[in-house]
A and B are shown apart, each in its own frame.
Chain A
Amino acid sequence: MPELGNAALLVSLLVAAYAMVAALLAVRKGYGELLQSSRNSIYVVAAFTTIASIALLFALIGRDFSLKYVAEYSSRDMTLFYTISAFWGGNEGSLLLWAWTLALFATVVVWQNRERHRDLMPYVMAVMMGTETFFLFLLTFIASPFTRLAVTPPDGNGLNPLLQNPGMFFHPTTLYLGYVGFTIPYAFAMAALITGNLGSEWIKSTRRWTLFAWFFLGLGNIFGAQWAYVELGWGGYWGWDPVESASFMPWLTGTAYLHSVMIQQRRSALKVWNMVLIIVTFALSIFGTMLTRSGILSSVHTFGQSNIGPMFVGFLGLIVIFSVALLVERLDRLQSENELDSLVSRESSFLFNNLLLVGAAFATFWGTVFPLVSEAVRGVKITVGPPFFNQVNAPIFLAIIVLMGICPLIGWRRASTENLIRNFLYPFIATMVFALVLFMGSIRESYAVVAFSLCAFVVATILLEFYRGTRARHRTLSEGYLAALFNLIWQNKPRYGGYFVHLGIILIAVGVAASSLYKMENQVTLRPGESATVKDYNLTYKGLNQYPTASKQVVAANLEVSQNGKYLGNMAPAKEFHRGHEQPNTEVDVRTTLIEDLYLILTGWEDDGTANFRLIVNPMVIWIWIGGVVLLFGTVIAFLPDRRERVGGG
């Protein structure tokens, strides 16, 4: 089977390289048959990368420890679920996942466009296969998952215990769907630049791919946050680890792109800017993969280290040089005679939203690379840690939330004063009342009042939009309110899907703001029978339980939890000592409600049973995950076919 895998990778590499060259030759020389051959080659690449992937899965499931990869990332005691997730637990496997996903996406793109975009497609195919060739080259010559060991060990090392969590099944896969997905709009953008076919056609054709990539990148980040929250055991969900930042940056620029292409579609403006955004987003996607997979920066993701860094740097450099050169070459044809009817318009508010989104991505990038800058200029190593990113990004994100409220209410082209008053009066009053209510309650910190009020403002504007639309249908078409609401959404899917996405983001923002600003923590040392409190929770430590399982030794504390005198149950934060791994793994215990999480960490213990705990109350964290679900719902709505597309409208 491994030999088959290796052979499949080699065939895939050769065929992908051929598909790229054939597509380019076909279009230059006008050979229709060669183009068809290139198209078929892409199907072949998909088939052979599938064979290679199945071969790796078989090796993992069949416990073929003669393979270095299988021995390093799996062991006999692992369940089928985690054995499968070992596929992307290490470098080689995750690179194969990249290549396999891209080959499948390329197949779908070629099939979708078999009758369309005859001018663009050869170049789209060449760019996709160029990228595919790079990954297959790495897999074949530098990081093959099918390398054999000289001596077959009786068992493998097993997957890093930190990765043995359901979140790790979904986090890398969704993130990769996002990273790889951005290859498609990028390939179309390059094809548009090469052919000089610079209208909005390529943008329309890639709207769903962009939405798909953007959504999965966001979802990947949320899964990652959820994994960090329950698995890393430090009480938070986002640590601004360089790899986290690296997956967040393309999401930010991708969000900017999703908004700014609307202006190109409606007004044929911002063509250069949109090109820049998709190039940056794709380059950041490769950069994100590179950071995870090369170990250039030290981070909690260092289990992915290897020596493929220079190859990635080279590829990234090639992408940037190739893209920028093409862009400069076409600059004169991209210059659109941008016109705007008014400074106060949807278009201008979108531009500021773009500025802030790109600004946040830049601030994150700047923070990530500043230690290198400092070392180069001053020769002094410094750290740019989580507090920096929080302090710099918080005001930027709040400003983005302001614009999220404002943008949808300002009309396209020109907003009159009456229009502004009509649209903003009620949300503004609602926000002021909300702020007052917060202030009258116990929320006094200016940051919290501002953050929650702004979120309320956005929710008010969105609800107003739904209300107005529903009322209009009810009046003019005599539909019942529920039917009117349903039809309103169904007949304007991109728009109302977008509003749901905004709602999801606001829920996430509320969860982040509340848990950052009102986190409460108590670090205690308790003897069995002693109690401690955090907020209004009382915890009585009953003692330690130690027991072995098939793969690990568990030390769990038993704590009786009550709130305001009412018994809630027992909780058991633990440390797990996995066989073959020196460092124990922290297993937190979390009690979640809609209002707050009680988050318990066992940090250590003595022989006499005395134990150290961190007792944390994290308010409203569950709303981050609920926000993710709303985001999913909104994206699915925006993704569904819309009647306007059939009649060729925007």
Chain B
Amino acid sequence: MKRTLLTILSVRLLILMVATPVLADGAVDAIANELMCQCGCTKTVASCDCGTAEQMRQTIKAYLDQGKSKEEILAYFVGQYGEVVLSTPTKRGFNLIAWVVPFAGIVLGAGAVYLALRKWVFRSQELEEVTVEEVTDAEVAEYEERLRRDLAAFDGS
């Protein structure tokens, strides 16, 4: 059961990792979501409704109408404003670190948690074994006798 559950969970998580969220419809929006508005609002071009964003959307639409690809359009904006115009770091070169580090951190953390848990379980089992070995039948009998005496004394008091 445990293994089945784990398998299902890992398959689900795998699906999550490869699936991409569905964006608002339209080719313009898809590209606009990958660009930051340059009016200083910290919103994407798809979200902002200022004049700058509208102009950028018009440019995207014009290039799409000319048959340019998404990559070509993004490259045009990078040429205009620099890398800062992209809403997410590129998934290559140094910027890959931005994407990898959070998950690497969690994977490493999971490893550390697992190791710590194993150590604690091991310690607990070790202690249990020691306890079992150290208490002999004679000692148990002795404790029982002492308990009986104490109880008798308690009842008598």
Chain A interface residues (CB < 8 Å from chain B): 233-236, 239, 241-242, 269, 298-300, 337-344, 348, 351-352, 355-356, 358-359, 362-363, 366-367, 370, 373-374, 377-378, 380-388, 390-392, 394-396, 398-399, 402, 417, 420-421, 424, 428, 445-448, 450, 454, 516-521, 523, 586, 601, 603-604, 612, 614
Contact = CB atoms under 8 A, between A and B. Distances in A.
Contact of B84 (A235, A383, A604): A383
Contacts of A518: 22
B105 to A, nearest CB: 6
Contact of B21 (A384, A447, A586): A447
Given A340-B124, A348-B117, A604 B5 contact: no
Nearest to A521: B24
A516 B24 CA distance: 9
Contact of B19 (A241, A417, A447, A520): A447
Contact of B44 (A358, A378, A386): A386
Given A239-B43, A447-B16, 13 more contacts: A234-B43, A339-B123, A340-B117, A352-B113, A356-B106, A366-B102, A382-B84, A382-B86, A383-B84, A417-B1, A445-B22, A520-B24, A523-B57
| Best-buried of A420, A450, A454 by chain B (most CB within 10 Å) | A450
25 contacts: A241-B42, A300-B41, A339-B127, A341-B121, A343-B121, A351-B113, A351-B117, A358-B109, A359-B106, A362-B102, A367-B98, A382-B89, A383-B86, A383-B87, A385-B87, A391-B21, A395-B17, A398-B13, A424-B1, A450-B12, A454-B12, A520-B24, A520-B25, A604-B51, A612-B54
A339 B118 CA distance: 10
B16 A516 contact: no
Given A339-B124, A366-B98, A421-B1, A395 B43 contact: no
B102 A374 contact: no
Contacts of A521: 24-26, 29
A357 B117 CA distance: 18
A316 B121 CA distance: 38
B1 to A, nearest CB: 5
Nearest to A399: B13
Interface residues of B, number: 60
Interface in B60-106: 82-89, 94-95, 97-99, 101-103, 105-106
A422 to B, nearest CB: 10
A374 B94 contact: yes
Given A341-B121, A359-B105, A516 B21 contact: yes
Interface in B106-122: 106, 109-110, 113, 116-118, 120-121
Contact of B117 (A337, A343, A445, A519): A343
A402 B9 contact: yes
Contacts of A378: 94
Contacts of B25: 520-521
A393 to B, nearest CB: 8
Contacts of A385: 36, 42, 44, 87-88
Contacts of B123: 337-339
A390 B47 contact: no
B71 to A, nearest CB: 16
Contacts of A390: 21
Given A386-B87, A391-B20, A396 B49 contact: no
A392 B36 contact: no
A201 B20 CA distance: 46
Contacts of A424: 1, 5
A338 B84 CA distance: 48
Contacts of A398: 13, 16
Nearest to A395: B16
Contacts of A387: 33-34, 44, 87-88
Interface string B114-157: 00111011011001000000000000000000000000000000
B83 A382 contact: yes
A544 to B, nearest CB: 17
A247 to B, nearest CB: 15
Nearest to B84: A381
B87 to A, nearest CB: 4
A351 B2 CA distance: 18
A394 B18 CA distance: 12
B135 to A, nearest CB: 19
Contacts of A343: 117-118, 121
